[in-house]
A and B are shown apart, each in its own frame.
Chain A
Amino acid sequence: MNRRVFLKSSFATLALPALESVSSALPVSGVKASNLRPPMRMVCVGNSFGMYPEQFFPKEAGPNYQMTPLLAPLEKHRKDFSVLSHLDHDIKGGHFSVHSFLSGVKMGDAKGMPEGNITVDQRAAEHVGAETRFPSLTIGSEDGLHGGCHMCWTRTGVRVPPIPGPRELFRKMFINEDANAQEKAADNFKMRGTILDAVRDEAKSLERRLSGQDKDKLDEYFSSIRDVETNLELDKRWSKVPKPNAPFEEPQDRSLVEDIPVLYDLIAIALKTDSTRVASFEMAGTGFDTSFFGFSAGYHSLSHHGKKPENLEKLVEIELYQMQQLARFLDKLKSIREPDSNGSLFDSSIILFGSGMGNGNAHVNTDLPIILAGGGFKLGEHKRYPSERIKRVPLCNLYLSMLQRFGVETETFGISSGTLADLDFA
């Protein structure tokens, strides 16, 4: 399929292969059987309040940097990740700009951009299309300060809401519907098809009564119908493919902060079973309950530490926990061997950790904390990019490199000026 043609259709929400090719792309057993090379995966993890810069970024650049307190949990993976500094999107807005973390574009500015404020994960998901049951899995907090991270966006400017807890994620991934529910679902597909036919005709007749801007607006509705029809077709086909077996009992939802490990485990299994190749995980919200750490002050409150040592100590403990969990996730990916390959799941997964917030105390969205791991990149150092204003490198350059590595044929992403200099493959 020609990607460039696709790029021009600005209203498509998913880059789905033409329908004829869907059946051939569909696996027989739910797990793709005979690929010569393992498919590339992408995992993006973000939080709302950033990482305390003083204890996150190393002082020295290069491979021999002195470990910092917040990176310490990743010590054993030292050769397999890089920490990148002075990368950002050159925007302001504090909490209200955190949602641009993975796109480089604030939602208000999306209209002027060729691909809107699509995020790197959703761009990758478009590329995967119907090859997996879930083009992407977005996971994490639905709420939070000013709505939370709001991390994942489609090219039409719609936020993809996250799956809020392990229970729902587990059900989506593993629970096949019983015969009764399947019959109901089959009838539901028929109902939707009939309704779509009717409303398309309805829209055509409305269109004749409209002019100018109104007509353009109605175009959105027409492309929405096309999208829903495509999705419906895929849903129908996937509904006949059984889901993989559950590896453990259905987990109960606790608070997000307690559920981080099990959510990471489920992400690893989703990648392993090729249920999806793109996963995003946003950590914020009321679920990030600090009483888990025995604190009475909230996470947001602590991020406004005002440089008070007692606040900082607690903030760093919360952030450290996130890094420990990330380290554990990397362990997990390394422990899963890819079939028909010498490598592990880690080698074929591009992992990004970071935040749309640079320094939470100052509410700035510059100098974002960024960690890159896996994906077969040559890593293992602190890459310090220029901090002078005129020489700064857009973070979107990293995203472009990630997308190309993922297999997307594109020369631009968001506000990129090219691929990220000095990022090689191992």
Chain B
Amino acid sequence: MNSKQVLIIGSLLSCFSLVSNGSEEAKQTEHSEAAVFNSHMRPFLDEYCVKCHGPKKQKGERRFDVLEYPIADDNALIDFQDILDLLNLGDMPPEEETQPSSGERQVVVDWLTQAVGIAYESRTITGGETVLRRLNHREYFNTISDLFEMDMSMFDPTESFPGERMVEHQDNVGDTLVTSGYLLNRYMEAADKIVEKALPFEEKPEPQTWSFEGGFEQQSELNKRHTTAHGQRYLNIYEAPNTVRRFGAYAPLYEFADGVPVGGTYKIRTLAEAVNRFHSFNREKVTNDPAEPMLMQVIPGHQRFGSLHLPQPYAPDLGTFALTDDGPAWYETDAWLDKGFAPRFIYLNGSMNIRPAFREVNDLVLANPDPSIPEEDLKADYMAVAIKHGVIPHIRIHRVEVSGPFYNEWPTRSWKAIIGKGKFNPKKTRRILEAFADRAYRRPARKDEVNRLMRVVDVRVDQGLSGFEAMKDGLKAVLCSPSFLYLEEDKRSRSERLSDFGLASRLSYFLWGSMPDRVLMNLAKRNRLSRPDILKSQLDRMLSDPRSDRFVTGFLDSWLTLRNLGDAPPDREKFETYYAENLGDAMRRETELYTRNALDENLSVSCFLDSDFTFANEALADLYGIEDVKGDDFRRIALDDPRRGGLLGQASILTVTANGVDTSPVLRGVWLLENLLGTPPSPPPPDVEPLDPDIRGAESIRDQLTKHRETQACQECHRKIDPLGFALENFDPIGQWRTTYDGRVEIDASGELPTGETFNDIVEFKKALMTHKDAFTLALTRKMLAYALGRRIEIMDRPQIDNIMASLEDEGDGFRDLVHLVVSSEAFASP
């Protein structure tokens, strides 16, 4: 455990002396404890530990010859706890050293357990306090979405916020979330955009219709050729999205480049045709699968994000269609479009690189020209020839009609959420702002707060704004206010526990990553939320609400670093399928569904280490070499093959622990130690020759690491790190099974854990890992508690964590139980 960074708080130190000088009884206990320390503990330390952790050497910066009882301070407590943990794990003494008999070990472990327990009990849990915490970007986004009840698929107000600072991958630690002038400026811009999007106009806009037929401009490489081939009569899509060249991959409506005039639901009708689905190209080159119908998808595009024929940050699915094979047909979808967005079209299962096919088709046409083809056509540019007379697979759009806006509800949901059912009336301004502030501040707004908001409105009216526009500026002021931006965790009077409103926010930001809903607020108003039975039933209600998917995503990002998936994009040359099959999203989805399932079914937390099922769609199943999974939908699949079970067989984990090009047992080993086992290794010592990978010869990464480990300084940590990484070497950088490094060298995935267990492959490794399940559960519990509280876990939290773990074991290790135990812990109810 790397907990030397624990905050040492003065007041806690005095706690110790208080207890030491406390009641007679305590003194008695302490006396006999001290006797055992001298008779058993001291000799044990001298015999087995002090050689490396004593006056001569202090490995791991630990020195035990000077330890005394009673436990003097936090540093000593950490040492005692560490000794206990490592003895329990069997990690110490190192296997090559003299080992204590199991009897000796047991006496010492029992004594330590008791002594450490007494030390913990001697303190209350006030040191670990959540520092005034700003909403992080994730929470800000969700809160805005819930506060305004609006569609956020084309809108991210946090888009230009500077990146957040993480603590051990956790994104919600209060004291490290910085506020700067830069960020406040962005908050003001965002508030403006948010309110203008939510309440753009007072009157319902009239629907209009736009039709597009002929004169279809496309990207410049296509325009001339399309003019030659068909006079720009068609809008053609050739490649899949996400290709290198993006050659005819996005078909925009340039005539409609300014997009729709107001946000609303629009009917998008497309007359489209599947052309040359059944081609005879070599599938290596032209990757369209003739066995599948062509899939056309409508997505939005906005000029603000650059060229309309390139990928853009917002690409929600506005409608996906499998095209028929009998000529042009109409395809229709009703979809929300934000102001300024226009529909564009993509060909989901198009080719990954169509350009070479044009040349090939052109040559075929010219080699044996059909007599019906006019001579001058044959002289045209090769692409024009191929498009007009060849068999290039593509989607051909003949006509597009867009009409709208339509509204399922009027006034809109956002309007109702903010202003109410009727029209706006300036007389209602105060009531509107007060109700909005109640929700935005997650507690009843104070009178002086509402007064201040009214002052904003008055000033703005004086500056010439209408009552409606001025009221909107009042809303913007709420969004820039510290009461909205920070989670104020107020306490109940005369108590060290959170108020019910504070508890409501803690619960909702933990499970929904967002503000409490009306039910929670009402319970808080009546001070009933803190009642254990109500808290429990609310927790279950919240977990069955779809908003709890945000817990799954948010927690996986902080626990398993899944947010980094895609940060090191797999190399396109080596891993084209990653792009062709959109595997990045599929990988993330698998782990999310898996975790969701563990939560819903209350599966044992050990399912994260190993199991006999997973979730996959066809693309992911193909990556895993599993047959008979068809289609894009994810489903639960049984695994006959023990290699894939658990997180360590999931492509998300295997990809996020690689760098997109090759794998490093060191990186994966460190990742496992940090995140799954909660025992991060110390950083490398200075002055070590770095590993400079050389893949010219027959040396494997294993050979190179073995050399690296010959250095004594490296050996110490790498014997813990490398074996874990070796166990995963059969998985390539995107999680495919492999038995050699590019056919060069055989992979050897065997290893030996520092605790002595040996394994030959991933399956045996997982078995060995299962025997260390407690270490895994401890790490998971710590992480979940930290995520729930929005702070780091500190040494004084240990008794609570031990409590949670003990109850968890009693209840059968269920993942959902763990969430319940975290919520019902004392720490959760404390500020």
* Cross-chain contact B568 with A228 (CB below 8 angstroms): no
Q: CA of A55 to CA of B165 in the docked complex: distance in angstroms?
A: 37
Q: CA of A157 to CA of B178 in the docked complex: distance in angstroms?
A: 8
Identify A198's interface contact among B184, B307, B481, B659, CB under 8 A: B481
Q: How many whole Å from B414's CB to the nearest CB in chain A?
A: 20
* Cross-chain contact A202 with B188 (CB below 8 angstroms): no
User: A35 near B: Cβ within 8 Å?
Assistant: no
Give the residues in chain B near A384, CB-CB below 8 Å. Answer: none
Q: Among residues 210 to 229 in chain A, which have CB atoms less than 8 Å away from a CB atom of chain B?
A: 210, 213-214, 217-218, 220-221, 223-228
Give the residues in chain B near A225, CB-CB below 8 Å. Answer: 181, 184
Identify B180's interface contact among A107, A156, A363, CB under 8 A: A156
User: A23 near B: Cβ within 8 Å?
Assistant: no
* Cross-chain contact A298 with B477 (CB below 8 angstroms): no
Give the residues in chain A near B182, CB-CB below 8 Å. Answer: 13, 154, 156, 158, 160, 227
Identify B693's interface contact among A95, A145, A194, A306, CB under 8 A: A306
* Cross-chain contact B181 with A226 (CB below 8 angstroms): yes
Could you say which of B260-268, B455-463, B643-651, B777-785 contacts chain A? Answer: B455-463
Contact with A along B463-475 (1 / 0, CB 8 A): 1000000000100
* Cross-chain contact B179 with A159 (CB below 8 angstroms): no
Instruction: How many A-B residue pairs have C-beta atoms within 8 angstroms? Tell me.
Output: 197
Give the residues in chain B near A209, CB-CB below 8 Å. Answer: 488, 490
Give the residues in chain B near A218, CB-CB below 8 Å. Answer: 132, 482, 486
* Cross-chain contact B163 with A159 (CB below 8 angstroms): yes
User: B513 near A: Cβ within 8 Å?
Assistant: no
Identify A161's interface contact among B162, B174, B456, B569, CB under 8 A: B162
Contact with A along B664-697 (1 / 0, CB 8 A): 0000000000000000000110110011111110
Give the residues in chain B near A167, CB-CB below 8 Å. Answer: 306
User: A342 near B: Cβ within 8 Å?
Assistant: no
Give the residues in chain A near B463, CB-CB below 8 Å. Answer: 187, 190, 194
Q: CA of A389 to CA of B687 in the docked complex: distance in angstroms?
A: 8
User: B417 near A: Cβ within 8 Å?
Assistant: no
Give the residues in chain A near B449, CB-CB below 8 Å. Answer: 202, 205
Contact with B along A157-181 (1 / 0, CB 8 A): 1111100010100000000000000
Identify B480's interface contact among A13, A154, A195, CB under 8 A: A195
Identify A307's interface contact among B191, B571, B691, B694, CB under 8 A: B694
Q: Among residues 155 to 190 in chain B, which have CB atoms less than 8 Å away from a CB atom of chain A?
A: 160, 162-163, 165, 174-175, 178-185, 188
User: A301-B574, A389-B687 in contact; A217/B695 too (CB < 8 A)?
Assistant: no
Q: Among residues 176 to 212 in chain A, which have CB atoms less than 8 Å away from a CB atom of chain B?
A: 187-188, 190-192, 194-195, 198-199, 201-203, 205-206, 209-210
Give the residues in chain A near B574, CB-CB below 8 Å. Answer: 297, 301
Q: Which A residue's beta carbon lies closest to that of B191?
A: A195
Q: How many whole Å from B557's CB to the nearest CB in chain A?
A: 14
Most B CB contacts (10 A, CB to CB) among A194, A221, A253 go to: A194
Q: How many whole Å from A343's CB to the nearest CB in chain B?
A: 35
User: A92 near B: Cβ within 8 Å?
Assistant: yes
Contact with B along A40-66 (1 / 0, CB 8 A): 000000000000000000000000000
Q: Which B residue's beta carbon lies closest to that of A365?
A: B690
Q: Which B residue's beta carbon lies closest to that of A235?
A: B185
Q: How many whole Å from B525's CB to the nearest CB in chain A?
A: 19
* Cross-chain contact A92 with B684 (CB below 8 angstroms): yes
User: B564 near A: Cβ within 8 Å?
Assistant: yes
Q: How many whole Å from A414's CB to the nearest CB in chain B?
A: 18
* Cross-chain contact B162 with A202 (CB below 8 angstroms): no
* Cross-chain contact B174 with A217 (CB below 8 angstroms): yes
Number of interface residues of B (CB under 8 A): 68
* Cross-chain contact B482 with A206 (CB below 8 angstroms): yes
Q: CA of A203 to CA of B569 in the docked complex: distance in angstroms?
A: 43
Q: CA of A90 to CA of B162 in the docked complex: distance in angstroms?
A: 27
* Cross-chain contact B180 with A253 (CB below 8 angstroms): no
Q: Among residues 224 to 245 in chain A, which have CB atoms less than 8 Å away from a CB atom of chain B?
A: 224-228, 230-231
Q: CA of A286 to CA of B311 in the docked complex: distance in angstroms?
A: 12
Q: Among residues 24 to 63 in chain B, which have CB atoms less than 8 Å away from a CB atom of chain A?
A: none
* Cross-chain contact B307 with A253 (CB below 8 angstroms): yes
* Cross-chain contact B180 with A13 (CB below 8 angstroms): yes
* Cross-chain contact A146 with B696 (CB below 8 angstroms): no
Number of interface residues of A (CB under 8 A): 71
Q: CA of A158 to CA of B481 in the docked complex: distance in angstroms?
A: 21
Q: How many whole Å from B739's CB to the nearest CB in chain A?
A: 20
User: B152 near A: Cβ within 8 Å?
Assistant: no
* Cross-chain contact A389 with B571 (CB below 8 angstroms): no
User: A114 near B: Cβ within 8 Å?
Assistant: no
Q: CA of A182 to CA of B185 in the docked complex: distance in angstroms?
A: 19
- Main SS class of interface, A: helix
Q: CA of A132 to CA of B571 in the docked complex: distance in angstroms?
A: 42
User: A146-B567, A161-B160, A195-B476 in contact; A361/B693 too (CB < 8 A)?
Assistant: yes
Give the residues in chain A near B693, CB-CB below 8 Å. Answer: 304, 306-307, 361-362
* Cross-chain contact B661 with A231 (CB below 8 angstroms): no
Give the residues in chain A near B705, CB-CB below 8 Å. Answer: none
Give the residues in chain B near A297, CB-CB below 8 Å. Answer: 571-574
Q: CA of A206 to CA of B482 in the docked complex: distance in angstroms?
A: 8
Q: CA of A229 to CA of B692 in the docked complex: distance in angstroms?
A: 51
* Cross-chain contact B488 with A206 (CB below 8 angstroms): yes
User: A191-B473, A195-B480, A389-B687 in contact; A308/B696 too (CB < 8 A)?
Assistant: yes
Q: CA of A231 to CA of B690 in the docked complex: distance in angstroms?
A: 46
Q: Which A residue's beta carbon lies closest to that of B131?
A: A213
* Cross-chain contact B481 with A224 (CB below 8 angstroms): no
Identify A202's interface contact among B452, B568, B659, CB under 8 A: B452
User: A300 near B: Cβ within 8 Å?
Assistant: yes
User: A103 near B: Cβ within 8 Å?
Assistant: no
Q: CA of A390 to CA of B755 in the docked complex: distance in angstroms?
A: 38
User: B662 near A: Cβ within 8 Å?
Assistant: yes
Identify B571's interface contact among A92, A160, A188, A298, CB under 8 A: A298
Identify A228's interface contact among B184, B459, B683, CB under 8 A: B184
User: A195-B473, A306-B693, A308-B696 in contact; A296/B244 too (CB < 8 A)?
Assistant: yes
Q: Which A residue's beta carbon lies closest to that of B664?
A: A363
User: B640 near A: Cβ within 8 Å?
Assistant: no
User: B660 near A: Cβ within 8 Å?
Assistant: yes
* Cross-chain contact B244 with A158 (CB below 8 angstroms): no
User: A147 near B: Cβ within 8 Å?
Assistant: yes
Identify A194's interface contact among B456, B659, B694, CB under 8 A: B456
Q: CA of A301 to CA of B452 in the docked complex: distance in angstroms?
A: 56
Q: Which A residue's beta carbon lies closest to that of B185?
A: A228
Q: CA of A399 to CA of B571 in the docked complex: distance in angstroms?
A: 35
* Cross-chain contact A217 with B131 (CB below 8 angstroms): yes
* Cross-chain contact B661 with A301 (CB below 8 angstroms): yes
Give the residues in chain A near B661, CB-CB below 8 Å. Answer: 298, 300-301, 304
Give the residues in chain B near A190, CB-CB below 8 Å. Answer: 460, 463
User: B453 near A: Cβ within 8 Å?
Assistant: yes
Q: How many whole Å from B664's CB to the nearest CB in chain A?
A: 9
Give the residues in chain A near B486, CB-CB below 8 Å. Answer: 206, 217-218, 221
User: A364 near B: Cβ within 8 Å?
Assistant: yes
* Cross-chain contact A198 with B686 (CB below 8 angstroms): no
User: B752 near A: Cβ within 8 Å?
Assistant: no
* Cross-chain contact A286 with B131 (CB below 8 angstroms): no
User: A359 near B: Cβ within 8 Å?
Assistant: yes
Give the residues in chain A near B283, CB-CB below 8 Å. Answer: none
Identify A13's interface contact among B181, B453, B659, CB under 8 A: B181
Nearest 6 interchain pairs by C-beta: A227-B181, A306-B695, A214-B132, A362-B692, A224-B184, A301-B571
Residues in B lying within 8 Å of A, measured CB to CB: 129, 131-132, 160, 162-163, 165, 174-175, 178-185, 188, 191-192, 244-245, 306-307, 446, 448-449, 452-453, 455-456, 459-460, 463, 473, 476-477, 480-483, 485-486, 488, 490, 564, 567-569, 571-574, 659-662, 683-684, 686-687, 690-696
| A to B CB contacts below 8 Å, 9 in the list | A147-B567, A150-B163, A191-B460, A195-B188, A224-B184, A225-B184, A226-B181, A227-B181, A301-B574
Given A160-B182, A201-B452, A298-B572, 12 other A-B contacts at CB below 8 A? A14-B181, A154-B182, A156-B180, A156-B181, A194-B460, A198-B452, A224-B180, A227-B180, A227-B184, A228-B181, A228-B185, A308-B696
